[in-house]
Structure 1
Amino acid sequence: MVRMVVTDHIFADLEQERSAAAALGTELESFNVATEEETVEALRGANIALVNFAPVTDAVLAAMAPGAVIVRYGIGYDNIDLEAADARGVSVCNVPDYGGDTVADHAVTLALMLLRKVTQFDRVLEAGEWTSPPALAPILASSQTTVGLFGTGRIGLAVARRLQPFGFKVIAYDPFANQETVREYGIELVPLDELFGRAHLVSLHAPATSATYKIVNAGNLARMRPGSFIVNTARGSLVDQDAVLGALESGQLAGVGLDVFDPEPLPREHGLRRHPNAILTPHAAFYSEQSLQNLQRLAAEEAIRAGRGEKLRCLVNSPALTTSNF
């Protein structure tokens, strides 16, 4: 019998996953693991694993059944050792299209709050004070503001589409960009140093890779205009959080909007938690009622394909050939 497991999740229920298991003639097993050791035990002998943040290491993969399939709830899969999965013949899938519009909405919300300095004004009034708007100068008109996108995938393009009616100039860096699509969106592609040098606000929309690791670092922050902004709704590892805090304290950055951190949660003692010009949300950009429903449905559908030996919709690796036991 196929063994289908959910390692960890944040959902109200697992009805869609249970229905998928029933369609495969099995029962769903659900856990709430966090450590490598717990994940090994949860996935020992498993054929299909639906994974949120559980660490899927080589030891975890070794414990799974031959020809197993992992479905990662969400877009990123940096908690899964892809090289080890390839070597052990384990297929890894993601769900890249469950809530891109929701993430884009969140990124643009953070960007507009920063550029209009909404949080700073609110804190003045919350303290019982009043201020003249020029006290928080400069605040530029949208038509005089350049937004730089680091990445022009599905979410980056959705951000551009939302920003352009406001009159923002949008530039982007993406070595893998579809040139024709980017032109259709009115985005100007630029080199990386020009992205940081020209943009008043840089918004990050790229996966976590060795090439993107801490791309927002002291060097690139120094290239930015004094008083500029950073928004990150992608992956926490794209940002050097200590460098960002230093840039806020020096005034090189006027504000940041961060939804993701490295590590997560952001340590209680980190200075970003207390900085008045930092808007922080707890990895919430993906969330809406509809996006969660889409995520569970698409993950469950992929699990059914895996159990039936059908072509997987969103395979992200190239596993070695093995003999599947289901």
Structure 2
Amino acid sequence: MYKIVRLFEDNMYDVEQKMIKELGMDASIEVIPSGTEDEIIENAKDADVIICVYEPLTKKVLENLKSLKMVIFRSIGFNGIDMDYANEINLPVSHTSKYCTDEVANYVVSAIVLHNRRILEFNKSVKVDRKWDCELFPDMRRLSSRTIGLIGFGNIPKLITKRLKAFGPEIVAYDPFVPDEVFEEYGVKRVDLETLFAQSDYISSHLPLNKQTEKSLNKSLFDLVKDGAVFINSSRGGVVDEEDLYEALTEGNLSYAILDVLSSENPDLSKAKLVDLDNVVVTPHIAFYSQDAFVQGAEDTMKNIHAFMNKEYKNAEIVNLRNIEL
């Protein structure tokens, strides 16, 4: 029997148990919240599978979990693990790539429309400043006249593209891992990253966080943006150099930012300078959030574990499958 240990707390235990029964899995699951290396080592010492989100799966942790056969992130991102060491010990690392794509796509489209129509600013003008003035933003333009730049063109940017088609903007995207025919299928213009920053009115990041992307969105790119450009990040805060973003918003051409993530998942808000800016909207990493997403995430997690147990590795969403031997 496989022992599954979930390292964080939520209310999806009944869903997980239901999936174990429906899939006929020879497995049990325990929920043991574990936020530190030592807690994980102690609480998952005999686990065959770990379910995690942000917990630190360092080399120290992994080398002490002798029974571990699989790690699965109940999230799209999987930057919480030492992937090099996981590859070294042939440890499969999975994730749930589609569980909140609908929610995040809606967040980004909502952010674009919210800014384009200046809804927050007009509301503040009326309710706080007690002004009834429709001329506060004389430079407002139709969304159909704007260019949207998507950094990455995976599941979420594809959904964003479908939703934005109704508004009629030009959509450009950067993703070196997606073939030309996919861009053509969605009517999206492929551009390099520098061109995307230089041409886009709205720039939306959909990068995963890894060694190659960490702080890759920085001054060299922010210096290229046109006057009035807006930056949106619903991916991972670590892909952005926050000092450079702050400078771009206070001294450069970047006019506005809508951020669902910061560089830390548990930021000290008293020291987060971006939060203090009037031209920045910050939400506490909620783009993914809905009860429907939680249920799908739990279901997809168990489906991936089931596929792995049955050696159906290509159906288990193993992100490092090409780098290990199973």
SS in 2 for 1:134: coil
Unmatched 5+ stretches in structure 1: none
Q: Percent identity?
A: 26
Deviations 1:8-54 (A, max 9, x none): 14x32311323455644453221111112212212212111111211
Cα gap change, 1:81/1:125 in structure 2, threshold over 3 Å: closer, same or farther?
A: same
Q: Offset at 1:166?
A: 0.6
Give, as a single letter, the amino acid of the residue that structure 1 aligns with 2:192.
P
CA distance in 2, matches of 1:55, 1:4: 17
- Aligned equivalent of 1:290: 292
**Separation (CA, whole Å) in 2 of partners of 1:134 and 1:98:** 42
Query: 1:57-96 CA distances to partner (integer Å, 9 max, x unpaired)?
Result: 1121112234611111011100011111112222111110
Q: Which amino acid aligns with 1:189?
A: R
Shift of 1:129: 1.9
Q: Distance in 1 between matches of 2:189 and 2:227?
A: 22
Report how many residues are paired: 321
Pairing 1:168-247 to 2, within 5 Å after superposition? 168-247=169-248
Deviations 1:76-117 (A, max 9, x none): 100011111112222111110112121100111111112222
Distance 1:183 1:26 in 2: 44
Q: 1:193-225, CA deviations, whole angstroms, 9 ceiling, x for partnerless residues?
A: 111111011011121133322232122111101
CA deviation map 1:268-314 (0-9, x unaligned): 12122222221111111111222111110010122233344443521
Normalising to structure 2: TM-score of the pair? 0.91
TM-score, normalised on structure 1? 0.91
In structure 1, distance between residues paired with 2:27 and 2:213:
41
Q: Are residues 1:7 and 2:7 paired?
A: yes
CA deviations on 1:198-253 (whole Å, 9 max, x unpaired) are 10110111211333222321221111011210011111112122222222222622
Match of 2:316 in 1: 313
Aligned to 1:301: 303
- Mark the CA change 1:240 to 1:15 in structure 2 (over 3 Å): closer, same or farther: same
Does residue 259 of structure 1 match 2:270? Answer: no
Within 5 Å, give how 1:18-29 maps onto structure 2: 18-20=17-19, 23-29=24-30
Instruction: Name the CA distance, whole Å, in 2 between partners of 1:163 and 1:189.
Output: 17
CA-atom RMSD in angstroms: 2.0
Q: 1:67 to 1:46 in 2, by over 3 A?
A: closer
* Letter of the 1:252 counterpart: N
Counterparts of residues 79-90 of structure 1 (less than 5 Å): 79-90=80-91
Q: Does 1:140 align with 2:146?
A: no
* Corresponding residue of 2:166: 165
CA contact 1:43–1:60 (8 Å) conserved in 2 = no
Match of residue 276 from structure 2: 274
CA distance in 1, matches of 2:123, 2:251: 22
Q: 2:204 & 2:87 partners in 1: Cα distance?
A: 32
Q: Is the CA contact (8 Å cut-off) linking 1:66 and 1:90 kept in structure 2? A: no
**Any conservation in 1 of the 2:45–2:67 contact (CA below 8 Å)?**
no
Shift of 1:181: 1.7
Of residues 74-83 and 302-311 in structure 1, the stretch that sits farther from structure 2 once superposed is 302-311
- Structure 2: distance between partners of 1:179 and 1:134: 43
Q: Distance in 1 between matches of 2:214 and 2:93?
A: 22
Separation of aligned partners in 1, 2:19 and 2:165: 41
Indicate if the aligned counterparts of 2:259 and 2:281 stay in contact, CA closer than 8 A: yes
| Segment drifting more, 133-142 vs 144-153 | 133-142
Q: Do the aligned partners of 2:223 and 2:252 also contact (CA within 8 Å) in 1?
A: no
| C-alpha separation in 1, matches of 2:193 and 2:26 | 51
CA 1:203–1:320: 2 relative to 1, 3 Å:
closer
Q: How many Å separate the matches in 2 of 1:246 and 1:146?
A: 23
The answer as to whether partners of 1:98 and 1:291 remain within 8 angstroms in 2 is: yes
State the distance in 2 between where 1:238 and 1:122 align: 32
- 5+ residue gaps in structure 2? none
